[in-house]
Structure 1
Amino acid sequence: MRVLRRGDVGQEVAEIRTMLVALGLLPESYATGEPAFDPGVEHALRAFQQRRGLITDGVVGTATYRALRGASYHLGSRPLAHLMSAPVFGDDVLALQERLTELGYNCGRPDAVFGPQTEHALRNFQREYGLTVDGICGAATIRALRQLSSPRARGGSPVYLREREQVRQAGSRLRGKRIVIDPGHGGSDTGIEFGGLREADLAWDLARRLEGRMKATGMEALISRGPQQGPAEAERAEFANEAGADLLLSLHCDQNPSPFAQGVASYHYGTGDGATSTVGELLAGFIQRELAARTGLRDCRTHRKTWEILRMTRCPAVRVEIGYLTNPDDHRRLGEAAFRDVVAEGLLIAVKRLYLLGENDQPTGTFTFADVLAHELAKAE
């Protein structure tokens, strides 16, 4: 569908209005009125985007439309199954994944997409509870799920506990860790362009600097795109999944109509109801503290989001917005190669801190690349 924004009219806008009415974000009168994208629709849409962890721009693009469609389903409103040709997604899938996780079945990270891991968990549930083992969540399976009032675990936490345990078991050495570095945008999508700098070029340069440092420590660093490529976020996530990545770091810059907006912010997977990637949140925090201490960029903190690059990766993922190209100070710093070296070192140190889990740690901003290499050599002996 085409992108919809304030001022647009037509049947596509009418559909958006109807969905927002059904979600209780617009009054009933909007279901029958003139199909116009007016300020009321924009306000309701921004509220929906904020609630869902989407970019709050008041515009209906692919991600927002998909989330609106998914929000129209509840568990039991339709049969659910794994379809290779057209993956089933929606709030009902998310509810199923969270319920199975509560019961102790491993669906992976709840992402609202009915994939093979969800099907496997559902089949295990059906087998253990004497249901027809068909991998389809139909009426009988829904009844069984609703009848069980004492799940083995509450709150969807097992999947995130598994994430943390995998990091602990991986050990503190960086050698052998497989990291996907994802430079944002690329190809015809240059991202933000301001004052002679392009976001895609800066992200690529940072990715190469980080790649070199990671390989020097024995890590396997993979870059998600070529210098002239611009894959979609879902394709980048699939690249990381197929590579069997341990972590994904997505590198971006930011912009704002106000030239006073500045700083660095990190984003990890998390939903509005409190579910979060434990390791992603931990890594985002390390990145924030390291970059703020080393670069002098304003600390804009960590945030939960459900962006595809965070939601569709099976490994913990963090997106880092490194400075505002529309801010004079951030723009000047990002244009300096020495500054980008400092950023690359800070990102590497943050990853190292994640795997140290507090062992032989040092104050934020004081750990150096040489310290990391020395630690790796000492562990190898």
Structure 2
Amino acid sequence: MERLDELLRRGDRGPRVAAVREQLAAVGLDCAAAPGEDPGLFDARLERAVRGFQQQRGLTSDGVVGAETSRALDAARWRLGDRILRYTPGHLVHGDDVTALQERLSSLGLLDDRVDGVLGPATERALRELQRGLGLTPDGTCGPATLRALQRLQRTVRGGDVGALRDTERVRRSGSSLVGRVVVVDPGHGGDDPGAVGNGLREADVVLDLALRLEGRLAASGVTAVLTRGAGQNPSTRDRARLADDVRADLFVSLHCDAATGTAGQGVATSYWGDPRVGTRSPVGARLADLVQRELVARTDLVDCRTHARTWDLLRLTRMPAVRVELGYLTDPGDARRLADPAFRDTCAEALLVAVQRLFLPEDEDPATGTLRVDDVLARVRAADGRDPA
């Protein structure tokens, strides 16, 4: 019996493959099976279409249909007006129709949250406010009357991305000191899931060790550092995000390593929440990702694979600025040799700490990349405590 949670990749066959082909065709991607070929076969043409869809949606373009790609395919089938939209706690509606609604609410300056295609409480509040302003019953339900009113509105005045402006202003007003801040450090995988494996290293072990090194440096800087897991644990993506919400984290830093199959891969890349289709992103997350990337590249000899806007579940579910760091390829001998060295991991932990500190520094105090020392960060802590920073 075919399991619905299994990955689909090139070479697989069955009704789920045929369904994926139909979903991709429905959104305009050319993936029809060749004449006489089985539409239930995951062939090269379907793989190219999956990769194209993933790239459009800000997902990892690996040609494999997993949970996140399946969720995105399901979301893509909805257009605004196809169904009545309402907020139901515990059963959140998601889809491109929700994204379209959120875009309209954001353009009117009513939505103070990200455009993520999920109808949560912030979207419901914005919808009720819109309905009150239009003289409709403020029931938080997007039905025919609300849709007709939306269609009559002219999109000549934009209110801006309220959520993005709010987050940027919050960081600006919070001051430059790290003392009292909460940072969740998320070592990926864990438990029975080793993550990437290569050259005698396991991703879960490498990133946990790095997380512990970063935790110590953050704590010395006055930060409450919270790890999402220990050595024998592998919480779900939703549980990791929920922990960050529960501790009211200021930032979320997820640590990973990468692996390449069939092609060479090396270097460091950093990702933040952003949906390239609708032009929405977390500006603070993007800034932190840029700082992390630059500090790591400046302090190590890892190849610069740049920063990327992604719609991954972990970045979508965390409500605070979040970044995911892919720190080298375990399948590359050079990257693996570096990551096996405790001194190199210390350097990476220091780069991450410096990036976090720089995020909160005003522009006129922000030093050049690669020049801020950990001792400088600690001096700020002593100054904030009223002690002699010397």
Greater Cα shift, 82-91 or 347-356: 82-91
Contact 1:282 1:354 in 2 (8 A): yes
Aligned to 2:261: 257
The partner residue of 1:124 within 120, 129, 135 is 129
Matches for 1:101-180 after TM superposition, within 5 Å: 101-150=106-155, 152-153=157-158, 157-180=161-184
Structure 1: 5+ residue runs without aligned partners? none
TM-score (norm 1): 0.95
Report whether the alignment pairs 1:284 with 2:273.
Answer: no
Is structure 2 residue 249 aligned with structure 1 residue 215?
no
How far apart, in 2, do the equivalents of 1:121 and 1:198 lie? Answer: 45
List aligned pairs for 1:305-324, cutoff 5 A: 305-324=310-329
Equivalent residue in structure 1 for 2:199, among 179, 188, 195 = 195
Partner residue of 1:19? 23
Closer, same or farther: CA 177–30 of 1 in aligned 2, 3 Å = farther
- Are 2:114 and 2:281, in contact at CA under 8 Å, matched by a contact in 1? no
Offset of residue 152 of structure 1: 4.6
1:284-319 CA-partner distances (Å, limit 9, x unpaired): 111111111111211111111110111111111110
1:87 paired residue number: 92
Matching residue's letter, 2:224: E
Counterpart Cα distance in 2 of 1:223 and 1:131: 46
Give the direction of change, closer, same or farther, for the CA distance of 1:107–1:316 in structure 2 (3 Å limit). Answer: same
**Aligned-pair distance for 1:260?**
4.6
1:231 aligned counterpart, secondary structure = coil
Match of 1:336 in 2: 341
> For this pair of structures, how many residues does the alignment match?
380
The alignment-based identity, stated in percent, is 51
The separation in 2 between residues aligned to 1:218 and 1:197, in whole angstroms, is 32
Maintained 8 Å contact 2:198/2:259? no
Q: Which residue does the alignment assign to 2:299? A: 294
Shift of 1:259: 7.4
Check the 8 A contact 1:214/1:221 in 2, yes or no: yes
Mark the CA change 1:151 to 1:227 in structure 2 (over 3 Å): closer, same or farther: farther
Note the C-alpha offset of 1:153: 2.3
Measured against aligned partners, the alpha-carbon deviations of 1:350-375 in whole angstroms (never above 9, x if no partner) come to: 01111003242322112111100112
RMSD of equivalent CA atoms: 1.9
Rounded Cα–Cα distance in structure 2 between residues aligned with 1:93 and 1:107: 15
Q: Which of residues 158, 182, 192 in structure 1 aligns to 2:186?
A: 182
Instruction: Quickly say closer, same or farther: Cα 1:126–1:302, change in 2 above 3 A.
Output: same
Q: 1:152 to 1:243 in 2, by over 3 A?
A: farther
CA distances 1:218-268 after superposition (whole Å, capped 9, x unpaired): 111111122211122222122212222111100001111367521111011
* CA distance, structure 2, for counterparts of residue 366 and residue 135 of structure 1: 51
Post-superposition offset of 1:132: 1.2
In structure 2, how many angstroms separate the alpha carbons of the residues matched to 1:334 and 1:176?
A: 31
| Structure 2: stretches of 5+ with no match in the other structure | none
Conserved in 2, the CA contact under 8 Å of 1:100 and 1:107?
A: no
